[in-house]
Structure 1
Amino acid sequence: MSGKTAPRSVGDGSTRTRLERGRGALGPALELVHTGRAPTRAVLTAELGVTRATAGAVAAELESLGLIRVDSHPSAPTGSQGRPSHRLHLADDGPVVLAAQIHSDGFRAALVALGGRIVATAPGCGTVGADPAGILGAVVAAGADLLAATGRRCVGAGLAVPSAVAEPEGTALNPVHLAWPPGSPVRDVFAEQVRAAGIEGPALTGNDVNLTALAEYRHGAGRGARDLLCVATGHTGVGGALVLDGKLHTGSSGLALEVGHLRVDPEGRPCHCGGRGCLDVETDPLAFLIAAGRTPGPEVSHLQQAKDLIRDAYADPAIRRATERLIDRLGLGLAGLVNILNPDRIILGGLHTSLLEADPERLRAVVADRSLWGRSGGVPILPCVLDHNSLVGAAELAWQPVLDDPLAALGHD
C-alpha cells in the first residue's frame, strides 16, 4: 500500500488540547509499545508520567496513524479488581521496513514490522563480489519483490554488514570477510539502490553485531539490562557491541568494540589485523573446525558446520576438546572486557551461543577466575534468543526515525 493514512479528526477542544500536550509523547509512547513495555493504556500512562486523558489521546493518535490498535472493550482478568485498562497492540497490517543482512555467503532480505516481527523473508546465496553495488542491488530487488507480494507500505530500509562502519561517512572501513575494497561507500550505495527501487523512507547501514545487540536489547535476551555487552561470531570472525542506557556505544567514529582483536593466545594463529591469537581467529567457526580436526566443506557455512558438530557429536572426544579450547579462549576475552566495561549482562551469539550451551559452567568459571572482582565475575552470561537478530537490528535502524517522531516520519507533520 502506497497511500498515507489520513490524520485523525479531533472532535472537541479539550481532546485537541490533550493531544497537543501529548504530541511530544508520541515517539516515547510508540517505543514503549514497540518494545513490549506498555501492554496497556494504564502502563503507558504510568511510564509516560502523563494524565490518563493525555495517554488516551496519544494512544488514539498512534492508532489513527495505523501503528497500534487499542482494544475498544477492555476486560479485566478474572478475580481482579478496579477499572480494566485498554490493551495496546501493534497493528497487524501496519507499515514495515526493509531489512537486509550481507554475509560472506550471500544475503538475506526481510520485511519487518514494529515489535521486531518478521513479516516475510527471502534468502539469497552465492559469492559476494568485489563491487558492493552488485550484491546490494540484488538484496534491494529481493526486498522490492517482497513488498510487491505483500502490498505493505514501507517506511525505510536498514542494512547490516560484517564490517566496521565508519561515521559519519558510512563506509565499510575494512570488510575483511568480504571481497569489498576497504572504504567502500556502502551506505551511499545502499541508499542509491533503495531510491532506484522506489522504496520510501531513509536507508541506513550499520555493523551486524552492533545491530544484533540493539535487537536483543529491545526485543530479546538483553531486555531489562542497562549496560549490555554482546559478543558474537558471524559466518567468520568475531564482533562485539555495547548498549548503554538504550543507546549503542559506537565511539567517536563508529569503530568502538572491535573485540575480535583482543589477544587471548600469544602463541595462537596469525590474525589478519597483523597480530596473533586474537579472538577473531581463536574463537570463530573456522577456528573450531580446525581445532576439531575437521576439513570445512562447501555445502553449508562454517558457522552451521561448527554448530552442527557441537549439537550432534559432542560425545566425540575431539569435538569436546575443541569446544573446551574455544570456551577457554572466549572466557579470557570476556573476562578482559568485564574488567574494562563492567556490564550488567553479557549475551553471546553465533557459535558462542553453542559454546555456552555446551558447557555453561566452564565458561562462567573462566570469566569469574580472570575477573578482578568477584562481583564482576558473576555477571550473567546468556545466549541471544532472536532468530535473524542482525536483520531485526537492521530494521531497528530504519524504525528509529518513526520512533523519534511518528508524525514527521509518516508525512503527517
Structure 2
Amino acid sequence: MTHHRTRPDRGRSALGPALQLVHTGRAPTRAVLTAELGVTRATAGAVAAELQGLGLITVDARPAVAAGAQGRPSHRLAVDPGGPVVLAAQVHADGFRAALVGLGGTVVATAPGCGDVDPDPVRVLRQVVAAGVELLERTGRRCVGAGLAVPSAVAEPEGTALNPLHLAWPPGAPVRALFAECLADAGVTGPAPGAPAPGHAANDVNLGALAEHRHGAGRGAQHLLCVATGHRGVGGALVLRGRLHTGSSGLALEVGHLTVDPQGRPCHCGSRGCLDVETDPLALLDAAGREPGPESSLLHQARELLRTGFPGDPAVRDAAHLLIDRLGLGLAGLVNILNPDRVILGGLHRELLRADPERLRAVIAERSLWGRSGEVPVLACSLEHNSLVGAAELAWQPVLDDPLLIQEV
C-alpha cells in the first residue's frame, strides 16, 4: 500500500526535528514543541498526531493540572513505550551483549552477556545477532534497525575495525559489512518494512559519548569531551553541537595513545606510558598489587576494588591516586587543546572521579592554560549501558531523520 505525502511541506519537514526533540526529552509538551520548531500551534499538533499515528510517540491531551497552575495545560508528549525498537550490540574484550532499545534511549530487554569472544568476528557477530533475534521473538516487538559498538577505531566510509587491540580479531576486519550480512541471514529488518537492516557500526566510546549527549550527563553541552575506559584500554570522543567529531576518516580522538608517562608501561601501539595502559582497569589492579582473577571482567574487578578498598586500603589508595594523577595530566592536555565546555568520564574513570573528585580537578587546574581549563565541569557518565544506547542511536538515526521511513510502502 502506497502512502502519498500530501501534507504541507513545512509540516512534513518538521516530522524529523519533532521526533528528535521528543526522543531527547527536549519537547515534553506540545507547547514546547511549537516553540522549538518555530511553527504554528496547528502545525505542531498535526506533526505530533502523525508521529503518534506512526506508533512513535504518545500524546496525552488531558494531562493532570499541577496544583496552583493557571490556564489549560499543554498536551504531554512522550515516546511510545510499546513502539518499535532497534537491536543494539556491544563487543568488548571480556565478552559481548545484545539488547533491544526503544526511542528515548530506553533499554527494553537485554540478553545475558557472553564472556567468550571468538577470534573469528563472523562467529561472534552471528552469536550477537542470534541473541538479538531471540529477544525480538520473546518480546514480539517490531525491529527497525541494528547498531554495533566495537572496541576499535572504525574507518569511514569502509566500516572496518582498524585496531581491535584487545580482541584477537584481525586488523581491518570489515565489521560493518559482516554485521549487515549476519542481520540479513537472520531476517532482521531496517526502517522500511521487509527491508534488511543496513548494519551500523562504530567505536564504542564514540557511541557512549553520543548517548550521553542525547540522554545523559552530556545533555546540553555544545563541546562535549568524553574519556572512558572500556573493559581494556582507554578511548575518547568529542561531540560538537550535537554531532560526533570523527575526523576525516572516522579516526579522531584516539586519546588512549596520549603519553602520560614517557618511562611507563609498553603500549600495544608501540609507544610507552599511554593512557591506554596507564589508566585502564588492568593498570589499577597491577598498581594495587592485585592479580586479576577469572571470575569476572577486569572492569568489574577494578570497580569493586575501588568501591571496597578506597580509601581504607593504603595500596588501593596509592594506586587510585597514581591513576588519577596520570588521568588528570592527560585530561589537562586535551582540555587545553580542545577547549570543551564539559568533560564526562566513563568506565573506570567514572569511579576514579567519584573516589577523589577534588584531586582529579586539582591536577587539571594545575596544568590549565590561563587558569580557565580548571573551570571546565568534569562529570561522571550517567548511563549504565551508554555504548549499547549509542549503538541504538546509530540505528535510530535514519528514522529520526525521516520518520516516514517506517510506514508501509
Q: Which residue of 2 aligns with 1:396?
A: 393
Runs of 4+ in 1 over 3 A off after TM superposition: none
Q: Which residue of 2 aligns with 1:263?
A: 259
How large is the Cα RMSD of the aligned pairs?
Answer: 1.5
Q: Give the distance between the partners of 1:258 and 1:67, measured in 2 at CA.
A: 36
Could you tell me which of 158, 168, 174 is aligned with 1:169?
158
TM value normalised by structure 1 = 0.95
Mapping for residues 2-81 of structure 1, pairs under 5 Å: 19-81=8-70
Q: Give the distance between the partners of 2:232 and 2:319, measured in 1 at CA.
A: 17
Mapping for residues 314-393 of structure 1, pairs under 5 Å: 314=310, 315-393=312-390
1:213 aligned onto 2:209: yes
Q: Which residue of 2 aligns with 1:186?
A: 175
- Cα deviation 1:21-76 (Å, max 9, x = unaligned): 31000000000000000000000000000000000000000000000010132443
Mapping for residues 118-137 of structure 1, pairs under 5 Å: 118-137=107-126
Q: Which stretches in structure 2 are left out of the alignment for 5+ residues?
A: 191-197
Q: Give the distance between the partners of 2:206 and 2:105, measured in 1 at CA.
A: 16
Q: Give the distance between the partners of 1:29 and 1:266, measured in 2 at CA.
A: 50
Displacement of 1:399: 0.3
Q: Give the distance between the partners of 1:231 and 1:211, measured in 2 at CA.
A: 12
Displacement of 1:257: 0.2
The answer to whether the 8 Å contact 1:33/1:89 transfers is yes
Displacement of 1:352: 0.3
Q: Which stretches in structure 1 are left out of the alignment for 5+ residues?
A: 11-15
Q: Which residue of 2 aligns with 1:13?
A: none
Q: Give the distance between the partners of 2:318 and 2:307, measured in 1 at CA.
A: 14
Q: Give the distance between the partners of 1:90 and 1:250, measured in 2 at CA.
A: 29
Displacement of 1:284: 0.3
Q: Which residue of 2 aligns with 1:232?
A: 228
Displacement of 1:412: 4.9
Q: Give the distance between the partners of 2:325 and 2:62, measured in 1 at CA.
A: 56
TM value normalised by structure 2 = 0.96
The answer to whether the 8 Å contact 1:36/1:115 transfers is yes
Displacement of 1:99: 0.1
In structure 1, give the amino acid aligned to 2:162.
L
User: Identity of aligned pairs, percent?
Assistant: 75
Displacement of 1:7: 6.5
**In structure 2, the residue corresponding to 1:63 is in which secondary structure?**
helix
Q: Which residue of 1 aligns with 2:87?
A: 98
Could you tell me which of 279, 282, 288 is aligned with 1:292?
288
- Cα deviation 1:271-330 (Å, max 9, x = unaligned): 111111000000000011110011111111111111101100111000000000000000
1:139 aligned onto 2:135: no
Q: Give the distance between the partners of 1:96 and 1:7, measured in 2 at CA.
A: 23
State the number of aligned residues. Answer: 401
Q: Give the distance between the partners of 1:140 and 1:341, measured in 2 at CA.
A: 37
Displacement of 1:366: 0.2
Q: Compared with structure 1, are the counterparts of its residues 412 and 48 closer, same or farther at alpha carbon in structure 2 (3 Å cutoff)?
A: farther
Displacement of 1:126: 3.1
